[in-house]
Structure 1
Amino acid sequence: MASVGQALTDSRNASERAHFVLIPLMAQGHTIPMTDMARLLAEHGAQVSFITTPVNASRMAGFINHAVATGLTIQFVKLHFPAVEFGLPDGCENADMIQSIDLFKNLMEACAALREPLTAYLRQQSPSPSCIISDVAHWWTAGIAREFGIPRLTFNGFCGFASLVRYIIVRDNLLEHVEDENELINFPGFPTPLQLTKERCPGSLYVCGLEQIRKNIYEEEIKSTGVVMNSFQELEALYIESFEQITGKKVWTVGPMCLCNQDINTMAERGNKASMDEAQCLQWLDSMKPGSVTFISFGSLACTAPQQLTELGLGLEASKKPFVWVIKAGDKFPQVEEWLAEGFEERVKDRGLIIRGWAPQVLILWHKAIGCFMTHCGWNSTIESICAGVPMITWPHFADQFVNERLVVDVLKTGVEVGVKAVTQWGHEQKEVTVTRDAVEIAVSKLMDEGEAAEEMRMRAKEFGVKARKALEEGGSSYNNINLLIQEMGNKANASG
């Protein structure tokens, strides 16, 4: 048997040889967790090349400056993005910048054109890359991995629960012959009872021209070496294990990745200028009783219709509870601003804080005044709430969000549904009010009023928050997985070198 000293030496050598190439999808919800992943890998001794573009690099300037200042072994590689060549406006380098969902195909094709310049860059690197971790949508990175003879791991920002749902849908082509959007679909091989309508399933959004790209993504996903997930074993072990069994792939759970960047986790540092001074926001929260405030925010891509925002606001007013409300309405914001000025903002000024545009979400969630989070159930926001130990009111819009709602409400039992009646797809305008003011008032009361059920939910949320933090501490499940990932990929590099 090898000595303990020899094992430590082997692990250290593997870390020194492990060179990870991280390639995120050009969308904030996918890029942010990958910046966290880069920091985790570097802090555990690996070398990281983080592939980005000039516009996206400017958005993460705070993180780049932090990495440089602290000496992290992260190289930020800014490749020219061929926007104009693929029919996009000059400087359009992120999903939240495209003016129509029809241009998403152009964005994906422009991303695929990064293959040659990226390959040329990697040929010049020493040590050579030992592993590529790319967003699952970047199917073209598989060709680079084969050229270098290295593993390709995929990342898509989903949790294990939603990843398993998505995999079964694609494997069995579950949605192809379902014509009724409201028909309930069963998922063969899913370990617990689950039914979803077609329109609430991830992958139900149709974008013209993406058929071949979807096919390429799935074919290369099947060939990949494994999957990296922003989750942790103690949260959803059953679904992670089921995913490994069904796919035959190793899953590396290395989350919650948002915890590693808590010290620089302001929106301004993450690439989005906060619309309100953080000190002003914290000062307002400091004036509120612990656990008394409802926080409302629907992420970076969801633009809620003005009439629905009005209904939401009236529900918050009727609840008579304090709230912090982040409002994003895109080009319809003037209509919302007009309604706010007609008396709403004045009526709630003593117990309501309205933030227009971006807000320091993690900072708010961790404040002792926050009692619940009304969220769109994007996985980044969901796991941020889990880490903070805050129960949720679920208001999903599209993609994996309805699946995440089921995890929160049915499995974790740390949230209540607001009662969304219809899907609001990304890139499509919401046409009707799907949640009434009464539903908002009832959901807020369920979580914020005294009562045994609400107290139990709050306790469960706090327990998961403790487990989340322990997972990334030395000896925790995710901490160990990061070390094992680096060691395995470093050993592969040593073997091939």
Structure 2
Amino acid sequence: MNRPHLHIAMCPWFALGHLTPYLHLANKLARKGHKIAFFVPIKTQCKIEHYNRFPHLITFVPLTVPHIDGLPPGAETTSDVPHALIPLVATAMDRTEHECELHLRDLKPDIVFYDFAYWIPKLARRLGCKTVYYTIISPVTLAYRAGRKVDEQETVISEQAWLNPPHGFPDSSIKLHLHETRFFVRSSNSQSQFGSDRMSLYQRLHISTTECDAFAIKSCREIEGPFLEFIETQSGQPILLAGPVIPEPPVISTGLEPKWINFLSQFKAGSVVYCAFGSECILKKDQFQELLLGFELSGLPFLAALKPPQGAETIEEALPVGFVDRVGSRGVVQGGWIQQRLILEHPSVGCFVTHCGSGSVTEALVSKCQLVMIPYEGDQIFQARLIGSVLKAGIEVERGEEDGFFTRESVCKGIKTVMEEESEVGISIRANRTELRELLLSKDLESSYIDDFIEKLQALVG
């Protein structure tokens, strides 16, 4: 039966790593004729609008983000602030609730998609809209977290409790190290306020996932099936799967900048190491230097796009002593924005050293690059475990159990493992990487998921 096209509103978390993948999904839905009202902070719109491939169906709804004491003037998203101030971005987002309600009253959408805005379901019910909690967080993360309910009386889940996966967790190879549990302890601590209503990040997400009309995930069963089944068992509700939601190129692309073409073209195919840790990851200075010294030790050409480390104003002042002279023209470290998708597509690039942010992982898996992973926190840790321990399609850099520090030797070892042709482990990893890429790019995989996703959304509306 042909059903009418949907009218969907999207209100993602004020982080580029959430806004951008939400817009990628909007493109997939708009391609099928559905209409999307996309809520975005007013000054941030220009940073993502070049991904809008269907401007006649995807309309940006600008939100005025109020100033919050403690936030830098004009800050709108998590990329505008240091990591410690991210909870204040949540407070600012919460204070757009009234403006969001006014827009929704005017728009009258069938469904509202959201993630961190836990107040959306209550608001939408008043307006007669259905709600979909749509998460870009890996099902492995959600499964590991399943069953750990935190209420207002429970102040914290211990490090020891986070070390152990929940009963029935489907894969024993996925484990946390002691240093990794600290993020999850902080996020579940009800005294660590995340937003304006005196609740932790964990409580906020718990409300978001239990108050919605439907739970949707950017994933597919071919890759994360056991974890999806575990979530469904724990939650008692079916999951709507959007599929891999592979990003499409910007509407207007000027191509790779000439300076990067000139640099990369000096080297043979598949030989360059590219490194990027996203817009929010800021390393400690000693780890920043160990990372670069690891690239130097590998002997391979490299391009690193990193933010200046803690305590440094510029990249140049943070470089190891003598590094530039020793590396010469085979290595570049730069601190500005870079055309990551186009860099990964360049034939000279053969290895991607990544923090395993959701967007980076999606771009990486459809490239031909080998993956060396140094996750920073949260979902990135489980993304790395899934790729390295379960799918065996990449390798994690070895780190200290308690402090989480890596060394130049461990960085070099990770790179050489996936890059050296005679490495037995590398041969296996490269074969698994190729198989995974071919699956994601197979002709009907994504389209079949999107079609099924839309059918279930239409059934939800009735």
TM-score normalized by structure 2? 0.88
1:382 CA drift (Å): 1.8
Residue 153 of structure 1 corresponds to 132
Residue 75 of structure 2 corresponds to 92
Is the Cα contact below 8 Å between 1:46 and 1:486 reproduced in 2?
A: no
Is the Cα contact below 8 Å between 1:396 and 1:420 reproduced in 2?
A: no
One-letter amino acid matched to 2:104: L
Out of 73, 82, 106, the residue aligned to residue 66 of structure 2 is 82
Provide, for residues 371-409 of structure 1, a one-character-per-residue CA deviation record: whole Å limited to 9, x for no partner. Answer: 221111222212221121433111111112222221111
One-letter amino acid matched to 2:61: V
Gaps of 5+ in 2: none
Is the Cα contact below 8 Å between 1:187 and 1:195 reproduced in 2?
A: no
Provide, for residues 317-370 of structure 1, a one-character-per-residue CA deviation record: whole Å limited to 9, x for no partner. Answer: 121112221121256444641354953223323322333222111111222222
| Equivalent-residue separation in structure 2 for 1:436 and 1:368 (angstroms) | 29
Aligned-CA RMSD value: 2.9
The verdict on how the C-alpha distance between 1:184 and 1:162 changes in structure 2, with shifts beyond 3 A counting, is: closer
1:60 aligns to what SS in structure 2?
helix
Gaps of 5+ in 1: 1-6, 270-276, 424-431
Structure that is richer in helix per residue: 1
Residue 274 of structure 1 corresponds to none
| Equivalent-residue separation in structure 2 for 1:38 and 1:483 (angstroms) | 13
One-letter amino acid matched to 1:212: M
2:281 aligns to what SS in structure 1?
coil
Taking CA–CA contacts closer than 8 Å with sequence separation of 6 or more, which of the two structures ends up with the larger relative contact order?
1
Residue 465 of structure 1 corresponds to 437
Is the Cα contact below 8 Å between 1:414 and 1:461 reproduced in 2?
A: yes
Is the Cα contact below 8 Å between 1:153 and 1:225 reproduced in 2?
A: yes
Residue 428 of structure 1 corresponds to none
Matching of residues 2-401 of structure 1 within 5 Å: 7=1, 10=2, 13-14=3-4, 16=5, 18-64=6-52, 66-68=53-55, 71=56, 73-84=57-68, 88-99=71-82, 101=84, 103-125=85-107, 128-135=108-115, 137-170=116-149, 176-178=156-158, 184-193=163-172, 194-197=174-177, 199-201=179-181, 203-206=184-187, 208-210=192-194, 212=199, 214=201, 215-257=203-245, 259-264=246-251, 278-329=257-308, 332-334=311-313, 336-338=315-317, 340=319, 343-401=322-380
Is the Cα contact below 8 Å between 2:26 and 2:58 reproduced in 1?
A: yes
The verdict on how the C-alpha distance between 1:393 and 1:251 changes in structure 2, with shifts beyond 3 A counting, is: same
The verdict on how the C-alpha distance between 1:80 and 1:422 changes in structure 2, with shifts beyond 3 A counting, is: farther
1:248 CA drift (Å): 2.2
The alignment status of 1:443 with 2:411, answered yes or no, reads no
The verdict on how the C-alpha distance between 1:326 and 1:118 changes in structure 2, with shifts beyond 3 A counting, is: same
Give aligned pairs, total: 451
1:47 CA drift (Å): 0.6
1:141 CA drift (Å): 0.6
2:328 aligns to what SS in structure 1?
coil
Out of 476, 479, 482, the residue aligned to residue 447 of structure 2 is 479
Residue 3 of structure 1 corresponds to none
Is the Cα contact below 8 Å between 1:294 and 1:324 reproduced in 2?
A: yes
Is the Cα contact below 8 Å between 2:315 and 2:334 reproduced in 1?
A: no
| Equivalent-residue separation in structure 1 for 2:288 and 2:169 (angstroms) | 36
The verdict on how the C-alpha distance between 1:351 and 1:433 changes in structure 2, with shifts beyond 3 A counting, is: farther
| Equivalent-residue separation in structure 2 for 1:37 and 1:145 (angstroms) | 21
Is the Cα contact below 8 Å between 1:230 and 1:255 reproduced in 2?
A: yes
1:51 aligns to what SS in structure 2?
strand
| Equivalent-residue separation in structure 2 for 1:157 and 1:265 (angstroms) | 25
| Equivalent-residue separation in structure 2 for 1:347 and 1:378 (angstroms) | 31
TM-score normalized by structure 1? 0.82
Higher alpha-carbon deviation: 233-242 or 43-52: 233-242
Name the % identity. 25
| Equivalent-residue separation in structure 2 for 1:416 and 1:100 (angstroms) | 27
